[in-house]
A and B are shown apart, each in its own frame.
Chain A
Amino acid sequence: MSFLDIQGLSLKAGATEILRDVSLQLERGQVLGLIGESGAGKSTLALAAIGFLKPGLTIAGGKVSLDGIDLVAASPDELSKLRQSKVAYVAQSAAAAFNPFYRLGHQVTELRALRDGIGGSERRQLAAELFARLQLPEPDRFGLKYPHQVSGGQLQRAMIAMALLNNPELIVFDEPTTALDVTTQVEVLKVIRQVIAAEGCSAIYVSHDIAVVSQVCDRIVVVRNGVMVEANETRRIIDSPQTDYARALVASRSTSDFNRETSDTQILIEGRGLDLGYGSVRIVENVDITVGRSEIVALVGESGSGKTTVARAIAGLLVPRRGSVTLSGIRLAASVDDRNDDQRRRIQFIHQLPDVALNPRQTVRAVLARPLVKFMGLSGADLEERLRGLMAEVELPAALLDRYPGALSGGQKQRVYIARCLAAEPDILICDEVTSALDPLVEESILSLLWHLNQDKGLGMLFITHNLGVTRRFTDRVVIMERGRIVESGTTKAIFAAPGEEYTKRLMLAEPSTRAGWLDERIASGD
């Protein structure tokens, strides 16, 4: 019998089926990848494997057994004993999972203090050992820090340390790198790989990024709408996926280029000598940036490099300390409040998260109608016609016009948001990480929508991203930022063919790939 054996598992939330008839096995020492879109049920499945159901879920049928223990029949006491000794869970956002009030060393060793009553010096020593195993800096002193005093990558590693505390036989990693940028992601992935190898434990790795999963896992299970679509060894899935859905997932990482042909170089918007900051903190120093008509310019960098800050200054949301922004050669007021309606209309800004950028109490119709009324002066039948036209442009059914954002999917919300920007008939779109919160297939469809808009309407775009794969395929020119300065810029082709700066190279190498051995190379190179 397998170490973990799930047979015909079905879960329900009320009357809704969350998982349907899922069967999978995991042997000791194996790593299983669960991949699928958000809401596919992959986290739910991974948690069920360690005997945990989110509140409101009920088992509608099937069996879960771990090391011969029947988890469905187990009492709460037995489950809690199991969780203290055999299994561990690493959550997606370490920043949200740690209590900001306690020192890391204290939190990481809490379970042993509760279970075995160890205290004081023994706890400190234990914490130091764990931190050393995860290659955290100054392991003896690291435990004295509070969560806010360490970086995102270090915090995620501290959480993995906590998982190792009870020498588990099975670790569930629930999207452990999704919230991190590429360079930090590599740092954490390396540690995960080394830890699994050193401990010899089994693991379930949940992610929507097929490249990441392919680097860490022996086997991959593809989940969609609560059903197992495909399960096979990693290389088989990557090299010869059997189902359409798996094929699309694999392809999303390697899709060929959008056919970029830069023609027009007439400068549309220009930021010159921008010095930006909040309060006494200086974030961006002396940045020059231009976007031409029908040109897509990528602004790339790690989180905290200042790329969003630059975009906000161009949009007039942040008043620069020094420097100016011009639109078609005319200098703009520093604050959007002082610009005129026509200038506001011509520059449209797309936020990262449509969830908070659409008012939850306004229907799609109200959202789209406002710019049409304010900027275009439409009303009555003209307004209605244009509303339907906009929905068609972003490939949404007109029936959605009377829905509230809460009743739309993530991709639909982003489309509504794009439609709102289009309503103003802008010259330039500032896209702030518009696809990073989306699943790969949805990301692909949004990119292709933006690309068509760029081709058909000659829209210029400032495309802020930390995803170099998208940058390479989608943009004409790249500007690379590190700690508030531009380190390198040039045409996308030239930069990707021959990156000039160390930082650029590091970013490129950190971009996950489905290629066999990519992570091993990263570990070997030691950067």
Chain B
Amino acid sequence: MTGKINLSLILSSGTLALFVVLALFAPLAAPYSPTEVLTNPYATPSVDHWLGADTLGRDLLSRSIYGLRYTLGISLFVTVVACAIGVTLAILAAVRRGWIDVLIGRTVDAIMAIPQIIFALIVLAVAGVSLKTLVGTMIVLETTLFFRILRASAGDIAVMDFIEVARLRGETLRWYIFREILPNLAPTLIAEFGLRFAFASLFISALSFLGVGIQPPDADLGGLVRENALAISAGKVAPLFPAIAIAMIAVSTNGIVDFLIRKYSVRGELQA
């Protein structure tokens, strides 16, 4: 391991850890209420208001800290659920093959054929904007991506002789998933999980930016960018802070994932 990798790991995990702590303890960490009008609209950063104020004069730092809660919370929840469903379906398809494989595979193809953002916009337009619909839609979309990549890896593993040995022993699907295939999928899974988490945070931000995500007066980071977007043409910095936060989430997640992949593959080589 070179020093450079460790530096990027320290920066990434430090950033993400700080964000997570802020999100968890938002009521304690935020200096003001996120919804209270406290000063002039678009007040520039000052000692009292570190990041300045938003379009209505609310404290932008407090709003950003609460925004982190939404962005991280929803991304994490969506990624965990989608990962669990995606992995299960992928291994089921790889082991059982036949019509189950075709059914799941083609359904996923059909969903993936529609651009993600369009799909989400249509669903949210038809079903109405609510947190449940939003999270549900994101889970469906993320699941297809998990399924696609893990089905390929699981397919490679499912043809190995040790899977045949498990079949000769008459093992259950549970055993295939958790004992035979999943441990071998771990490196792919870790990488994919981190990547999908980063994309999920970008996705929820994008939806909120388009106005179909978290609804005012609450706001996630994407929503904060939207609220303050007009200020950019007036030369104000307000929308930059939540935008930078979104970028930092994506970048630091990738930094951690890179490290894990490297660590895992080195260990894998020693074992293999």
A interface residues (Cβ-Cβ under 8 A, vs B): 315-317, 336-337, 339, 341, 344, 348-349, 351, 353, 356-362, 366, 370-371, 374-375, 404, 406-407, 420
Contact = CB atoms under 8 A, between A and B. Distances in A.
A357 B162 contact: yes
A375 B168 CA distance: 12
Interface centre among A349, A353, A361 (most CB of B within 10 A): A361
A337 B167 contact: yes
Given A351-B164, A356-B162, A361-B184, A344 B271 contact: no
A-B pairs, top 10 by smallest CB distance, nearest first, are A361-B183, A357-B161, A406-B271, A406-B272, A359-B162, A351-B161, A356-B161, A404-B271, A344-B170, A356-B160
Given A353-B161, A407-B271, 12 more contacts: A336-B167, A336-B168, A336-B170, A337-B170, A356-B162, A357-B162, A361-B184, A362-B183, A374-B170, A406-B271, A406-B272, A420-B165
Contacts of A348: 168
A349 B162 contact: no
Contacts of B272: 360, 406
B82 to A, nearest CB: 24
B163 to A, nearest CB: 9
B271 A360 contact: yes
Nearest to B160: A356
Contact of B169 (A358, A360, A374): A374
Interface centre among B162, B180, B270 (most CB of A within 10 A): B162
A515 B167 CA distance: 45
B174 interface: no
B270 A406 contact: yes
Contacts of B106: none
Nearest to B163: A359
Interface of B: 160-162, 164-165, 167-171, 179-180, 183-184, 186, 270-272
A119 B197 CA distance: 55
Interface centre among A341, A366, A370, A375 (most CB of B within 10 A): A370
A344 B184 contact: no
Nearest to A341: B170
A344 B169 contact: yes
A370 B160 CA distance: 18
A361 B179 CA distance: 9
Nearest to A357: B161
A359 B184 contact: yes
Contacts of A361: 183-184, 186, 271
Contacts of A374: 169-171
Contacts of A351: 161, 164-165
Question: Could you tell me the dominant secondary structure of chain B's interface residues?
Answer: helix
A375 to B, nearest CB: 8
B165 A357 contact: yes
Contacts of A366: 179
A206 to B, nearest CB: 25
Contacts of B184: 359-361
A406 to B, nearest CB: 4
B170 A339 contact: yes
Nearest to A317: B164
B168 A317 contact: yes
Nearest to B180: A359
A127 to B, nearest CB: 37
Nearest to A358: B162
Given A362-B179, A406-B270, A406-B271, A370 B161 contact: no
B190 to A, nearest CB: 14
Contacts of B270: 406
Contacts of A353: 161
A339 B168 CA distance: 10
B179 A349 contact: no
B168 A349 contact: yes
A279 to B, nearest CB: 14
A198 B3 CA distance: 60
Contacts of B168: 315-317, 336, 344, 348-349
Contacts of A341: 170
Nearest to A374: B169
5 contacts: A356-B160, A357-B164, A359-B184, A370-B169, A406-B272
A341 B170 CA distance: 7
Contacts of B164: 317, 351, 357
A358 B161 CA distance: 8
A90 to B, nearest CB: 29
Nearest to A361: B183
Contact of A371 (B160, B169, B183): B169
Contacts of A362: 179, 183
Contacts of A356: 160-162
B167 A359 contact: no
B183 A359 contact: yes
Nearest to A347: B168
Interface centre among B164, B183, B270 (most CB of A within 10 A): B164
Contacts of A357: 160-162, 164-165
A349 B162 CA distance: 11
Nearest to B167: A336
A349 B163 CA distance: 13
A61 B169 CA distance: 53
A257 to B, nearest CB: 31
A404 B183 CA distance: 13
B59 to A, nearest CB: 50
Nearest to A340: B170
Nearest to A349: B168
Nearest to A345: B169
